[in-house]
Amino acid sequence: MSSPQLPGAPFLARRGDDLWLDGVRLSEVAAEFGTPLYVYSRSAMRAAAGAYLQALAGRPHLLCYAMKANASLTVIRTFAELGLGFDIVSGGELARVIAAGADPAKVVFSGVGKTRAEMRAALLAGVRCFNVESEAELLALSGVASGLGRTAAISLRVNPDVDAKTHPYISTGLKGNKFGVAHEHARAVYRQAAALPGIRVTGIDCHIGSQITEIAPYLDALDRLLDLVEQVEADGGTIHHLDLGGGLGITYTDEQPPAADLLVGQLLARIDARGHGHREVLMEPGRSLVGNAGVLLTEVLVLKPGAEKNFCIVDAAMNDMARPAMYQAWMGIVPCHQRSDPALTWDVVGPVCESGDWLGRDRALAVQPGDLLAVLSAGAYGMTMASNYNTRPRAAEVMVDNGRATLIRRRETIDELLRGELLPD
């Protein structure tokens, strides 16, 4: 029986009193692998990518998964098997693409501060395109590529100055943000790029923010991008591909983002209507491919009812899942096995020594110590943002595929945390 009210349905579902993900009972997975534990559904990831791929079918395209959302090797391999490329933002992420056996020729390299060493590594690996974010970066890249006797294919990441109407920390396409080349400056930078050694202009790129729940800001940004393409080509340049960024939101609570195929359909229609239908389309989604495919399982350690607040203290904390502490993000929290007792209102908090260490506030839950809770929609920006604060080893990760659960990352050990530290005499 599926539970459409759960974000992550139909892969995440309540059957009787128990929570299941992709054919496994989550309490059994926790019993086998321990907590805190990230559990992902491969079927849900494949379905999420399928929605984009279906809408893009029939025209040249490359869907580049923004692996900052979830960079585990098995996740990368899952998407590589579907033919996806990758959006990376560091040499470390490039190393992950290679370690997962994916193709660097399908990689776009984004990011506002690439080091020369990272540029070199990406050129030698043969990445498909650098998304260049400033004039200074363009000059540095030209120098590095010429020095290696290589040519760097580039897009300019244009800052279109549109409001993605999302949390200020994850809005990236406004003039006041650090990202991209200002829209009104981009034409001149394209002219400059055309004359630089070691540089070949190939595309144009934008990314306006994350957890976007409306189509209008995308269309506004696209229009600005297409205006620029027309200007660059009037100047004699060639823009082969349009990279429309990522940013599509997911449902955490009551958000109603457009489905990926609806968004893509509208973008393609606008591209066609403006006579740009021959160009290859790239997109860089992260969250919408993995967010609702994962949960974070955690065990209730202690209950601390109080005069003002009831605290439910669990074994996962802000170091495992930073989003609530960092963005006041609301994430669903449900028991893995439902009790029939009356619910009380709890703040679900971790053991870290900060009042900012919370996962959910004022949640109605029937819980007892030893119960398992699932933090929902935890597949994106969970494990990748995890830290070792309070010398807490990072959680283990499990991939579930249609009834089979496989460990894909061992729980970190304290020895691993101490390795690399030096005690000088």
Q: Which residues contact 185 (CB under 8 A, 6 or more apart)?
A: none
The residues, ordered by sequence, that sit 6+ positions from 303 with a Cβ below 8 Å of its Cβ are: 310, 311, 312, 313, 346, 367, 368, 369
Judged by CB under 6 A, the number of residues near ligand LLP is 22
3-state helix, strand, coil in the chain (%, to 5): 35, 25, 40
- Binding to ligand LLP (CB under 6 A): which residues in 3-22? none
Please report whether residue 282 would count as binding ligand LLP according to CB under 6 A: no
Q: Among 257, 286, 324, 335, which residue sits at the site for ligand LLP (rule: CB under 6 A)?
A: 286
Q: Which stretch binds ligand LLP (CB under 6 A): 22-30, 64-72, 97-105, 412-420?
A: 64-72
Contact between 35 and ligand LLP by CB under 6 A: the answer reads: no
160 part of the interface to ligand LLP, by CB under 6 A: no
Q: How far apart are CA 154 and CA 191, in angstroms?
A: 13
Q: Does 211 bind ligand LLP (CB under 6 A)?
A: yes
Amino acid at 170: I
- Of 70, 78, 155, 288, the residue at the interface with ligand LLP (CB under 6 A) is 288
Stretch that binds ligand LLP, among 6-14, 181-189, 245-253, 260-268 (CB under 6 A): 245-253
152 beta partners: 199
User: Does the footprint of ligand LLP cover residue 85 (CB under 6 A)?
Assistant: no
Nearer to ligand LLP, 24 or 75 (CB): 75
Query: Given its phi and psi angles, is residue 259 left (phi above 0), alpha (psi -120 to 50 degrees) or beta?
Result: beta
Contact between 106 and ligand LLP (CB under 6 A)? Answer: no
d(CA 9, CA 286): 19
Structure tokens at 206: 């934008």
Stretch that binds ligand LLP, among 93-101, 206-214, 297-305, 363-371 (CB under 6 A): 206-214
245 part of the interface to ligand LLP, by CB under 6 A: yes
Residue 323 Cβ vs ligand LLP, minimum distance, rounded to whole Å: 5
| Minimal distance, residue 173 CB to ligand LLP, in Å | 10
Residue type, 165: K
Q: Does 215 bind ligand LLP (CB under 6 A)?
A: no
Closest distance of CB 287 from ligand LLP, Å = 4
Among 61, 106, 128, 207, binds ligand LLP (CB under 6 A): 207
Strand locations in 237-375, DSSP E?
Answer: 241-243, 280-283, 294-304, 311-314, 333-335, 344-349, 358-365, 372-375
- Provide, rounded to whole angstroms, the least separation between the CB of residue 241 and ligand LLP: 15
Residue from 46, 323, 392, 394 that binds ligand LLP (CB under 6 A)?
323
- Cα separation, 182 vs 147, in Å, equals 28
Helix residue ranges, H only, 129-259: 135-148, 183-194, 216-234
Residue 87 as a binder of ligand LLP (CB under 6 A): the answer is yes
Residue entry with tokens 């691993």: 416
Which one of residues 47, 140, 170, 417 is an interface residue with ligand LLP (CB under 6 A)?
170
69 in contact with ligand LLP (CB under 6 A) = yes
Residue 381, interface with ligand LLP (CB under 6 A)? yes
Find, among 397, 399, 393, the residue nearest to 412 by Cα.
393
- The answer to whether 110 contacts ligand LLP (rule: CB under 6 A) is yes
d(CA 180, CA 396): 35
Residue 43 within binding range of ligand LLP, rule CB under 6 A: no
Q: How far is CA 56 from CA 244, 252, 262, 268, 280, in A?
A: 13, 26, 11, 8, 10
Element housing 43 (H / E): helix 42-56
Please say if 206 is a catalytic residue.
no
The residue from 134, 142, 155, 210 that contacts ligand LLP (CB under 6 A) is: 210
Q: Give the footprint of ligand LLP on this chain (CB under 6 A).
A: 66, 68-69, 87, 110, 170, 172, 207, 210-211, 245-248, 284-288, 323, 327, 381
Active-site positions read 353
